[in-house]
Chain A
Amino acid sequence: MSESYPAAPRDRQVGVTPQPASLADVLELVLDKGVVIAGDIKINLLEIELLTIKLRLLIASVDKAKELGINWWESDPSLSSGAPAAQGSGNGQAQVERRVAELEQRVEALTGEKPPPGR
């Protein structure tokens, strides 16, 4: 599928050459929008929504997705534990959490007992 659409040029901010639809645009348009006429074969809307999320995850690494402006899950607390720290410090909180998890594992290994939950 990657050869079927051109990669977005890096210098898209120069001038106003309109861009062709990226795969992110395509998905947004054809999955979320357009006329819905009752067909004979039905897929329910929840399936479509889940699908949209999966596809957005598929088409891009997190960095690429940011570039495309589809990093909405970062600000959604139900999808990202780092949501409250999303502005400013970026992934700082994620790093801290990873580090805490590592240290907890080491404490567990050394003492044989789990540290108390919650912090």
Chain B
Amino acid sequence: MSPLYAYGVLPADNTRSADQPPLPPGVAGSEVHLVAGGELAMAVSAVPSEDFAQDRLASRLEDAEWTAALAQAHFDVVEALFAQGPLLPLRMCIIFESADRVRAALADRAPVLTSTLHRLAGAAEWSVKVVRRPARSGGPPVPAEPAATSGADYLKRAAARRDERQDAGLAQARFVERLRGQLAPVVTADRDAPAASGHLLRASYLVRSDAAPVFLRVIEDANATAERLGLTVEIAGPWAPYSFVPRLQEAS
């Protein structure tokens, strides 16, 4: 019997209407289907045990290209399901031995899964990053300064350049704080992603669909200011609320 690879949890009454586009194939090419248990259902697809059995999966995952393709296929299915209605996205590589085991897992966690589905209904995750633009290449040429006439002169200029950099840094930090403040009343929740160099802001926002136009307008307005400060506001999404679901680690 083939293992079942799981993508997400959704309400069992979430029947697909006929005019919805077909789901993309599952991670191993077989069709995605729902296993219902109580009021919930899990979207799964059969996967070959050559690749996905306990003793095979770890070594398959060492193949980075195989894994990247798996991640992309997982994401594509999750996004297609999310486009059709409420969905709790599962982390990659959650695999069950049978449909009965899927139903048991749903039953175990039904209360928290159901309440999370209600909490997240109608909202999607967006990613917002504020990055420093790479050193200008197209800007006006900086006039060459005449050589420093003395050691004291050199030090004075160095201090002035340092002050300029500090002022720019302060203005950038103030900009990010202002942006956070403007987004706060628009979004339902936020999570900071781990810092990365060159990023002044890396965050995930949970945005209800009716708030999305305002959210996008805030970003657009911010981008005009960002430009003047040598920054860029990058936005990606919307996608299923990966960052806003409970982790529900193993009970054991």
Are the chains A and B members of one assembly? yes
Query: Which residues of A, 1-42, contact B by the 8 Å Cβ criterion?
Result: 1, 4-5, 12-13, 15-16, 18-23, 25-42
Contacts A/B (CB < 8 Å), 14 sampled: A15-B220, A23-B71, A30-B92, A35-B246, A35-B247, A37-B94, A39-B95, A40-B96, A40-B97, A48-B93, A55-B67, A69-B198, A69-B202, A71-B198
Smallest CB separation, A71 vs chain B (Å): 6
Residue from the list B71, B89, B93, B196 in contact with A71, Cβ < 8 A: B196
- The reply on B249 being an interface residue by CB < 8 A is yes
Interface residue tally on A, bucketed by range: 35 or more
Once the chains are docked, how many angstroms separate the CA of A43 from the CA of B57? 8
Number of B interface residues in the complex (CB < 8 A): 75
Smallest CB separation, A42 vs chain B (Å): 7
- The reply on B152 being an interface residue by CB < 8 A is no
- The reply on A94 being an interface residue by CB < 8 A is no
Residues of A within 8 A of B9 (CB): 35, 37
- The reply on A100 being an interface residue by CB < 8 A is no
Contact with A along B53-74 (1 / 0, CB 8 A): 1100110011011011101111
Question: What residue in chain A is nearest B101 (Cβ atoms)?
Answer: A40
Smallest CB separation, A4 vs chain B (Å): 5
Smallest CB separation, A1 vs chain B (Å): 4
Once the chains are docked, how many angstroms separate the CA of A75 from the CA of B202? 16
State the B residues within 8 Å of A (CB): 3, 6, 8-9, 52-54, 57-58, 61-62, 64-65, 67-69, 71-76, 78-79, 88-97, 101, 105, 109, 113, 116, 126-127, 129, 131, 133, 193-199, 202, 216, 219-220, 223, 227, 232-239, 242-243, 245-252
**A35 with B72: CB separation less than 8 A:** no
Once the chains are docked, how many angstroms separate the CA of A85 from the CA of B186? 39
Residue from the list A18, A35, A74 in contact with B216, Cβ < 8 A: A18
**B248 with A37: CB separation less than 8 A:** yes
- The reply on A113 being an interface residue by CB < 8 A is no
State the A residues within 8 Å of B (CB): 1, 4-5, 12-13, 15-16, 18-23, 25-43, 47-48, 51, 54-55, 57-59, 66, 69-72, 74-75, 86-87
Residue from the list A4, A25, A40, A55 in contact with B127, Cβ < 8 A: A25
Smallest CB separation, B34 vs chain A (Å): 15
Provided the pairs A13-B232, A20-B236 are in contact, do residues A39 and B94 lie with their beta carbons within 8 angstroms? yes
Provided the pairs A30-B74, A51-B61 are in contact, do residues A43 and B93 lie with their beta carbons within 8 angstroms? yes
Once the chains are docked, how many angstroms separate the CA of A86 from the CA of B71? 31
Residues of B within 8 A of A16 (CB): 216, 219-220, 223, 233, 235
**A72 with B196: CB separation less than 8 A:** yes
**A1 with B94: CB separation less than 8 A:** no
Smallest CB separation, A53 vs chain B (Å): 10
Smallest CB separation, A46 vs chain B (Å): 11
**B237 with A18: CB separation less than 8 A:** yes
A-B residue pairs, 3 tightest by C-beta? A34-B91, A33-B242, A13-B232
Residues of B within 8 A of A42 (CB): 54, 250
Question: What residue in chain B is nearest A57 (Cβ atoms)?
Answer: B64
Once the chains are docked, how many angstroms separate the CA of A60 from the CA of B234? 19
